[in-house]
Every structure is written in structure tokens, then in C-alpha cells.
Amino acid sequence: MMARMAELHEAGKLNADQEKWFKYPRPEIEFYDVQADPHELNNLADDPKYKKKIKELSDEFDRWISTYNKMWKYTEPELIEMFRPGGVQPVVTRPEVKIENGTATLTCSTEGASIAYQINGRGLNEHHWFLYTGPFSVNPGDKISAIGVRAGYKDSSIQAEADELLAEWVETLLTYQVSHKNASLNGGLLCPACARVHGRCGDAVLPLMYIAEKTCNEKYVTAAKNLMHWMGNVHQPDGSWMNDVNVSDWNGTTVFAAIALYEALHHHGHLLDDST
């Protein structure tokens, strides 16, 4: 219905009452007699007869807000800065696991965090995690894995920490990617040790595509594609890749580049368009 209303609005075919759906900005105060005016078309906010009632309701609203929702006047950017100072998402502290006399106790120092855990890599199954509600019994040799979680925070899992570290590594990697009109250089990753581009840099296609999937940032897909275009400079007729252009035909790193390329396409190939 609203899609049709929007079409009629754009075409200028709505009457004055219907156009009120699209009025912007809205009045600061709106007050309607919903019994006499169930469609809320006649705003009575400026009617002196209702001035006392409007103030009564406004004061009650302010009292409720100041008690239960003190942050409602903040803008979204202000709230983001409050919860993520400097744009950095907070991370839940990794839970501590303490086992004494066959009983496991889990604690997390992050206020408001919940703890999920597995015993020997399983909850009800390998994909399920138990919610920690109190100490529980364990058998000798049991391995407890615990993750701290809180809405708006990054999980405390080792995987989350690994992803963050990898993202930093990939960002640094991009500073070494060559952008040059010469195809023999463009897209390659410059070795900081010897200022050359080596064929083994093709391994980086996998972390680039992995981070592209994690962040939904197209720049990492572009970097991966440019890297593989550069790999054409070291591609050999037998399908291998040599490591150094005009230095040696050694192709011992081919297996690593081939595995990385396969894993990138297998797990993240859906990020590529048909032409790629």
C-alpha cells in the first residue's frame, strides 16, 4: 500500500490529507483526538483548549524518559562514540576457567557478559554451546572451551582475536601492493626485505578473500584480483608459477599458491563476478 502511496505522491495525485503521510519535517508536537479523528489528520497541538493537557503529557513523558531512557536525545553518531570510543568495537574479556574437585567455575570480568562453553569441543553437538548458569561437574581430562559474549561487543573467542589480527596484517599487506601502469609490477606484493616481487606472494589471495568476506569490503576482492593478474607474470606453460622473474625458474612455491587459490575460490568464490 505504501509503495503505491509513494508512487501517487511522486505523481502529485494525492489529496491534502493523504499528503500528510509525506510531510517533512514533522511538527515538534502532535496532538490528536483519536475518537473524533481516528486517522489523526487534524493536529490540535496549537489549540489553546488543549494546552494544559499537552503540558501534562509532556511533563510525564520527560519524567519517564529521565528515569528509563536517559540517552534518547543522543544522535546515532554520539551513541556510537559512547559505546565504541574512537570507532573501536570493545571486546569481551576472555573467560577464566577454574576446575577444583571435579567442578568447573567460569568467570568473565566484562560487566554484562554471558559465557558459552563446550566440553571436549561439544555442547549437545559440535556446533552447540551451553549457556553458563553456574558451576558444573567435569570428568578428569575434560577440556573446557569458553567464550564471553555481550551485545555490541566482539566475542572473546580465539577466532575473533585471530580475525582481528589477520585484518591488521592484511591492511599492512595492502601497503606493499604495487599500483603501476606496468603490468609486470601492478598488483604484486613488494617484498620489504629485498624490494622485489616474488611469486610466492600469490599465497596472499586466500587471506585477502577471507577478509573480504568478513568485512564485506570490495577493496580486498580488488586486491586479490590484482594479485592474481600479477601472478600471470610468473606463470609457466606447465601450469606452475616460478618464484622470481628473470632470476630463476624455480617453481617450488607453486603448491602453496595452488592450495591458497583453491581455498579462496572454494570458500569465497561467490564474491567474484562471472567474468572473473
Report pLDDT digits (tens) over 124-177.
Answer: 998 899 999 999 999 999 999 999 999 888 888 767 778 878 989 999 999 999
Closest CA to 169 of 244, 217, 216, 220: 220
Residue with cell 566484562: 110
- In angstroms, the Cα distances linking 145 to 18, 88, 157 are 58, 26, 9
Within 10 angstroms of residue 61's Cβ, the number of other Cβ atoms is 10
Which pLDDT score, from 0 to 100, does residue 251 have?
85
Q: Rounded distance, CA 243 to CA 93, Å?
A: 43
Q: For residue range 20-62, what is the model confidence (pLDDT) as tens digits?
A: 888 889 899 999 999 999 999 999 999 999 999 999 999 999 8
| H-helix or E-strand spanning residue 176 | none
Residue with cell 585471530: 162
Which pLDDT score, from 0 to 100, does residue 164 have?
78
β-strand 103-107 against 136-137: which pairing, if any? antiparallel
The distance in angstroms from the start CA to the end CA of the chain is 41
Q: Rounded distance, CA 248 to CA 257, Å?
A: 17
Percent of the chain with pLDDT over 90: 54
Q: Is the pLDDT assigned to residue 272 strictly greater than 70?
A: yes
Which pLDDT score, from 0 to 100, does residue 247 have?
67
